[in-house]
């Protein structure tokens, strides 16, 4: 196919103009078909819609066009990664964790005929939704929560599929998401998202496909110990019995702290890594729309506005993370006595508020020397927030301006907090270290100055945001295996090799393909 990039319209233009402009750029050559490949909103100067269009000819014509005009890009058609069938002796591979990494690893293994066994400490999505909703309504914290259960932590999020990786596996992941229930718009959007409501259905459909192909998914089953013989995995012990295995994929997720401790005790090589902590900034969505779109705010051709902001001083940065237009701040604790915040949007992104984590980098040199010091650091902040919130899983909350001026103040504001089970007025300067607070305050000032009308000072802050990524990395070698234990494959975000749904899913597929091909 030929890719025609940088076709620019205003929000007032009819989208059919995209194809008129594409045909003009082809200078008389008539394609077999024209399709919108990507669509983005550019707000850097003027508000513009930027498109890429794919034009399909026969291969010889496509190469001729690309040679004639360097602005026309020849590219092979998007193809789903071919998964060869595989016959291996021995036990079925065991996948620990059913988040994006474990899910796509298990799906790929199942398609190859290897009938994987998935061990997931949380519940299936139907039961998980009930458990999470009960907690948000003020009920007890369960072992099945926003962090643990079918789909992993990403299930109760915006389902954002943006990624910084450049992997051919990305196309396969997107195609599968559409196959299992996502809107096909994710194939063309520059910043695709699914939404929590749709994602809950998709993860169930993927599980059913794995089971249809002969795999098993064992919910409410926690990994407790490994059986290792001669530096090779021989089996796993779980809360529901032992499973023999010679291939183990550790797709733990970033919050499986007890499992990280168990692996360290078993001699697995791990290292500290940078992560980030901060707060959730909540604003009216209409405020964000005005700041990003100006006079076009509310235009029917434009989606609810989102932003991506960052500022750096030396080695430390402050940045927006997991921005949820029209979304909700959600209670995401997984341990008793701790408060954790995250953000969530439904597919329609039609909530009154926008929210995003505003996070500050925490560097290995900020921590004590041992590998799990980052985990202790996170836990300490979560426990402080729990006490400030009233020791009942309410979250400490504060107007941004009051945070800047280090005063408790009150929560009388046009922005109503969406966090459930509830919030309590508190000074978030008491919840976070001074270096984090200082950098947050600098960030708010920079963001407001750089984007007129952004008005973070008019927003509210809910804390604390600590689970942006895993604070540890489980080392793996060129064979993608743990150096100290043959047959064990650390995978995804919890192992320190991914940073979101797409990158974790691709890492899971990458490991599965390595196992299938045996190279």
For every residue of 234-248, DSSP letters joined together read EEEEETTEEEE-S-E
Residue 510 and residue 490: Cα distance in Å, rounded? 12
Residue 217 and residue 213: Cα distance in Å, rounded? 12
Of 465, 486, 501, the residue that ends a domain is 465
Do 251 and 279 sit in the same domain of this protein? Answer: no
- Predicted confidence band at 70 (pLDDT cuts at 50, 70, 90)? confident
Do 98 and 182 sit in the same domain of this protein? Answer: yes
User: Residue 486 carries which DSSP code?
Assistant: B
Is residue 85 a part of any domain in this protein? Answer: no
Closest CA to 247 of 473, 81, 485: 485
Is residue 192 a part of any domain in this protein? Answer: yes
- Predicted confidence band at 519 (pLDDT cuts at 50, 70, 90)? low
Do 279 and 190 sit in the same domain of this protein? Answer: no
Supply the CATH number for residue 39's domain. 3.30.70.2700
Of 17, 40, 74, the residue that ends a domain is 74
Do 267 and 307 sit in the same domain of this protein? Answer: no
3-state secondary structure of 267: coil
Q: Are 54 and 72 in contact (CB under 8 A)?
A: no
Is residue 80 a part of any domain in this protein? Answer: no
Question: Over the stretch 331-366, which tens digit does the pLDDT of each residue have?
Answer: 999 999 999 999 999 999 999 999 999 999 999 999
Is residue 82 a part of any domain in this protein? Answer: no
333: domain range?
Answer: 274-369+376-465
Compute how many other C-beta atoms are within 10 angstroms of the C-beta atom of residue 178.
Answer: 15
Compute how many other C-beta atoms are within 10 angstroms of the C-beta atom of residue 130.
Answer: 13
User: Quick one: 428 exposed, middle or buried, by C-beta within 10 A (0-12, 13-18, 19+)?
Assistant: buried
Least confident of 80-84, 141-145, 382-386: 80-84
Do 326 and 428 sit in the same domain of this protein? Answer: yes
Q: Are 488 and 482 in contact (CB under 8 A)?
A: yes
Could you tell me whether strands 423-425 and 395-399 are parallel, antiparallel, or unpaired per DSSP bridges?
parallel
Question: Over the stretch 151-182, which tens digit does the pLDDT of each residue have?
Answer: 999 899 888 998 888 888 999 999 999 999 99
- Predicted confidence band at 129 (pLDDT cuts at 50, 70, 90)? very high
Is residue 83 a part of any domain in this protein? Answer: no
Do 105 and 238 sit in the same domain of this protein? Answer: yes
Of 74, 105, 130, the residue that ends a domain is 74
Q: Are 145 and 121 in contact (CB under 8 A)?
A: no
Query: What pLDDT score was predicted for residue 77?
Result: 67
Do 321 and 411 sit in the same domain of this protein? Answer: yes
Domain tally for the chain?
3
Do 52 and 120 sit in the same domain of this protein? Answer: no
Do 503 and 458 sit in the same domain of this protein? Answer: no
Is residue 281 a part of any domain in this protein? Answer: yes
Is residue 159 a part of any domain in this protein? Answer: yes
Q: Tell me the two tokens of residue 165.
A: 């990786």
**Mean of pLDDT values over 492-509:** 96
Q: Are 336 and 286 in contact (CB under 8 A)?
A: no
Q: Tell me the two tokens of residue 90.
A: 């021995």
Do 227 and 144 sit in the same domain of this protein? Answer: yes
Do 284 and 253 sit in the same domain of this protein? Answer: no
Do 407 and 458 sit in the same domain of this protein? Answer: yes
Planar angle of CA 273, 277, 280, nearest 5 degrees: 150
- Predicted confidence band at 390 (pLDDT cuts at 50, 70, 90)? very high
Is residue 81 a part of any domain in this protein? Answer: no
Question: Over the stretch 175-209, which tens digit does the pLDDT of each residue have?
Answer: 999 999 999 999 989 899 999 999 999 999 999 99
Supply the CATH number for residue 242's domain. 3.50.50.60
């Amino acid at each position: 196919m030929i890719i025609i990039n940088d076709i620019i319209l205003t929000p007032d233009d009819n989208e059919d103009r995209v194809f008129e402009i594409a045909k003009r750029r082809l200078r008389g050559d008539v394609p077999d078909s024209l399709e919108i490949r990507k669509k983005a909103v550019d707000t850097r100067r003027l508000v513009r819609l930027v498109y890429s269009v794919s034009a399909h000819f026969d291969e010889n014509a496509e190469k001729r066009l690309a040679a004639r005009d360097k602005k026309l890009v020849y590219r092979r058609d998007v193809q789903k990664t071919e998964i060869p069938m595989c016959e291996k002796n021995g036990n079925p591979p065991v996948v620990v964790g059913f988040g994006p990494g474990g899910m796509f690893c298990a799906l790929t293994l199942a398609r190859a005929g290897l009938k994987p066994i998935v061990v997931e400490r949380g519940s299936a999505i139907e039961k998980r939704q009930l458990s999470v909703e009960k907690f948000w309504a003020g009920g007890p914290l369960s072992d099945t929560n926003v962090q643990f259960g079918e789909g992993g932590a990403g299930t109760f999020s915006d389902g954002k599929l943006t990624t910084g990786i450049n992997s051919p596996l990305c196309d396969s992941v997107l195609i599968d998401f559409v196959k299992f229930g996502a809107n096909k718009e994710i194939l063309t959007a520059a910043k695709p998202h699914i939404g929590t409501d749709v994602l809950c259905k998709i993860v169930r459909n993927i599980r059913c496909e794995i089971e249809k192909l002969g795999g098993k998914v064992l919910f409410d089953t926690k990994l407790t110990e490994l059986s290792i013989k001669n530096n090779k995995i021989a089996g796993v012990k779980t809360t529901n019995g032992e499973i023999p295995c010679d291939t183990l994929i550790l797709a733990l997720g970033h919050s499986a702290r007890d499992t990280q401790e168990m692996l360290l005790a078993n001699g697995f090589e791990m290292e500290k890594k940078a992560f980030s902590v901060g707060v959730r900034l909540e604003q009216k969505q209409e405020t964000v729309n005005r700041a990003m779109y100006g006079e076009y705010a509310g235009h029917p051709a434009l989606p609810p506005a989102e932003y991506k902001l960052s500022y750096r001083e030396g080695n430390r940065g402050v940045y927006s993370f997991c921005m949820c237009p029209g979304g909700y701040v959600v209670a995401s604790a997984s341990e008793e006595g701790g408060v954790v915040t995250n953000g969530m949007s439904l597919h329609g992104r039609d909530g009154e508020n926008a929210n995003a984590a505003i996070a500050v980098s925490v560097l290995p040199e900020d921590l004590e020397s041992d590998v799990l010091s980052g985990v202790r650091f996170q836990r300490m902040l979560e426990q402080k927030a729990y006490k400030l919130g009233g020791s009942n899983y309410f979250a400490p909350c504060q107007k941004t301006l009051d945070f800047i001026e280090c005063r408790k103040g009150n929560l009388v504001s046009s922005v109503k907090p969406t966090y459930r089970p509830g919030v309590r007025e508190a000074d978030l300067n008491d919840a976070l270290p001074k270096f984090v607070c200082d950098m947050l305050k600098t960030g708010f000032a920079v963001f407001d100055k750089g984007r007129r009308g952004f008005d973070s000072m008019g927003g509210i802050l809910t804390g604390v945001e600590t689970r942006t990524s895993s604070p540890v990395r489980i080392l793996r070698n060129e064979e993608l295996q743990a150096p100290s234990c043959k047959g064990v494959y650390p995978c995804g975000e919890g192992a320190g090799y991914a940073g979101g749904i797409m990158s974790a899913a691709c890492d899971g597929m990458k490991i599965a393909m390595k196992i299938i091909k045996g190279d």
